Structure 1
Amino acid sequence: MTSPHRSAARIQIGTTLRRLREDAKLPRDLACEALGCTITKIGNIENARSGVKHAELEKLLTLYGADEPTRDDLLALNSEAHRRRPKSKIGGQIAPWLRRILDVEAIAVEAIFSSPDLIPAVLQTPDYARALMANVGLAGEVLEKNLELRLGRRVLLTEREVPLRLWAVIAEPVLWAGIGGPQVMREQIAHLLAMTELDNVNLQVMPRGAGVHPLIGTTLTLFRLPGDLPSLISVDTPFGDHFADSPDQVERTSRWFDFTRAKALGLEESRELLARVMEDIR
């Protein structure tokens, strides 16, 4: 039997509510008392089997001690899920939309990534990530908080009970981008080589001159989620990530990724190119 469709917004709200509750070290029983409902309903909300009413969401956010930017962000997203015009004030040191991405990523079983410009966040070294963040104006404590959060994502590949499976295709110019300078790039490429030794990490390079492919010019991640949760597509833009979960979009994106990696270098050829570039960077 096919499971009911769950919107991208509902999945993000559910995963974030679960994270907030667990951070607050509160059992589901207390959430039940706050809403006057069964523990099954709390589980259904957290697992995106059902939506949450606006008033219920406000009660849960208060119970979990959510900060104002997170409250505003989730309430706006819930309005969006119910097809009401969203209103939000985004503030704080960590953008709430980024928190939502991390909550989805934390439960994903597989991430499929393609980019003409960037190395996946879970594969970035501290100096590479710092250079990227400084380039968009982050500094001081805000930069350090965002850096800590980004570097924390790397443990998904190595320290989770069932590590995240990652398949990434990056364009060759990414390796020559000079982000942070030659030493930073050499260290970053060395890290990529080391990570490709893991069974759960596959990295391909799209060589220069490979021609057109379906994902050209787009940075995106396709998240495969556990159980009967639908897959989600996260498209990276300068204003934050945007999610889509239409079955047609997911199927098309998955097919496009297959075409894209077919045009890229093979896994071993990609490793050989990484090693050559690392030696040639001066």
Structure 2
Amino acid sequence: MPRSPGPPTVRLRRLAAELRAFRADAQLTREQVEEQTGVNQGTLWRLETGRAKPHTGTLETLFDLYDVPQRRRTALVDLASSARYPGWLLQSVEYADELSDGYATYIGFESEAKAMHNFETIVIPGLLQTEEYARATMVDALPMDEAAIERRVRVRMQRQTILTRQREGADPLQLWAVVDEAALHRVVGGPAVRRAQLGKLLELNDRPNVDLQVIPFANGAHPAMTGSFVRLIFGGGASDVVYEERLAGDHFLELEAEIDRYGQAFDQLRARALGPRDSSSLIAELIAR
């Protein structure tokens, strides 16, 4: 069964923002645009909310009305063209039916983000997991056959390449992760798997694009004890997105007030946590025990 369209991609959202701005500058309503171009209001709404992939002819018609300079037109047509192609995950048929629409959309956002702020309460962040740890989280979770688990593990390992990516001049993702100390103590997959996972955290925390902080038990309550979250930061005029993975389904937040609230919470979490160096010392002590 074909996958239903998910939330708009980052590139479509960026293009949508440009189209809304052009129309606002021209001081035109959607009804007036339809009268002058023949592009109906429904189509225009879908383009301006990132829910449709525009045809080049439609874009050119709108650009003529909005008097968009040629250089800007070329850049936006290229942006629209690239938005037609999904990321590595959706190009792979073997993964297409394995993941929820929300999780697949999240992975697409993640692959285009410039930075990520991730807080986890009881599990190691997915981008920092060893293969054995990732597999154990799935084996002991909801029932799945072995083949499905292995495909999901491959997806998680493939996601981690954004920490070292060099494709098309893109810099590696800047990851700032904060975890509750509980995540370090939970024995996932057995003692050997846990020990290897702690060792990987030490290794990754030495990378220039990774900062890992731990909130120790002794520091008491903190602002996000009720759940984990990820803030994806895109830059280039694209608004940030907050993602929460819930038992009832994946949840995306995009309103500015919501993003600000999570940003403030993450700042408080960072302040409450040990610094990256002291966090590495704590992890090293746990390994030594």
Aligned residues: 223
Letter in 1 for 2:125: P
Change in 2 beyond 3 A, CA 1:169/1:92 = same
Work out which of the residue numbers 205, 210, 216 in structure 2 matches 1:201: 210
**Match status 1:215 vs 2:224:** yes
| Unmatched runs of 5 consecutive residues or more in structure 2 | 1-5, 14-53, 61-73
Which residue does the alignment assign to 1:181? 190
CA shift, 1:266, in A, is 1.4
**Match status 1:130 vs 2:130:** no
Structural mapping, 1:244-255, within 5 Å: 244-255=253-264
RMSD: 3.0
Which residue does the alignment assign to 2:235? 226
Supply the distance in 1 between the matched residues of 2:203 and 2:92 (Cα, whole angstroms).
Answer: 38
Q: Is the 8 A contact 2:181 2:216 kept in 1?
A: yes
Supply the distance in 2 between the matched residues of 1:140 and 1:37 (Cα, whole angstroms).
Answer: 47
Change in 2 beyond 3 A, CA 1:197/1:256 = same
Which residue does the alignment assign to 1:153? 159
Work out which of the residue numbers 7, 12, 15 in structure 2 matches 1:9: 7
| SS of aligned partner of 2:238 | coil
| SS of aligned partner of 2:224 | coil
CA shift, 1:11, in A, is 3.6
CA shift, 1:99, in A, is 1.3
| Unmatched runs of 5 consecutive residues or more in structure 1 | 1-7, 16-30, 48-56, 71-90
Q: Is the 8 A contact 1:94 1:145 kept in 2?
A: no
**Whose Rg is larger?**
2
State the TM-score, normalizing by the size of structure 1.
Answer: 0.71
**Match status 1:115 vs 2:125:** no
Q: Is the 8 A contact 2:11 2:80 kept in 1?
A: no
Deviates more, 1:148-157 or 1:92-101: 92-101
Letter in 2 for 1:202: D
Q: Is the 8 A contact 1:168 1:202 kept in 2?
A: yes
Deviates more, 1:131-140 or 1:117-126: 131-140
Supply the distance in 2 between the matched residues of 1:126 and 1:66 (Cα, whole angstroms).
Answer: 23
CA shift, 1:267, in A, is 1.3
Residue by residue over 1:38-77, the C-alpha shift from the partner in whole angstroms, topping out at 9 and shown as x without a partner, is 5846734866xxxxxxxxx9xx99xxx9899x9xxxxxxx
**Match status 1:143 vs 2:152:** no
Supply the distance in 2 between the matched residues of 1:144 and 1:103 (Cα, whole angstroms).
Answer: 20
CA shift, 1:234, in A, is 0.4
| SS of aligned partner of 2:269 | helix
Which residue does the alignment assign to 1:76? none
Which residue does the alignment assign to 1:88? none
Q: Is the 8 A contact 2:114 2:174 kept in 1?
A: yes
Which residue does the alignment assign to 1:21? none
| SS of aligned partner of 2:104 | helix
Structural mapping, 1:91-110, within 5 Å: 92-110=97-115
State the TM-score, normalizing by the size of structure 2.
Answer: 0.69
Indicate the percent of aligned positions where both proteins have the same amino acid: 26
Letter in 2 for 1:9: P
Which residue does the alignment assign to 1:26? none
Change in 2 beyond 3 A, CA 1:254/1:203 = same
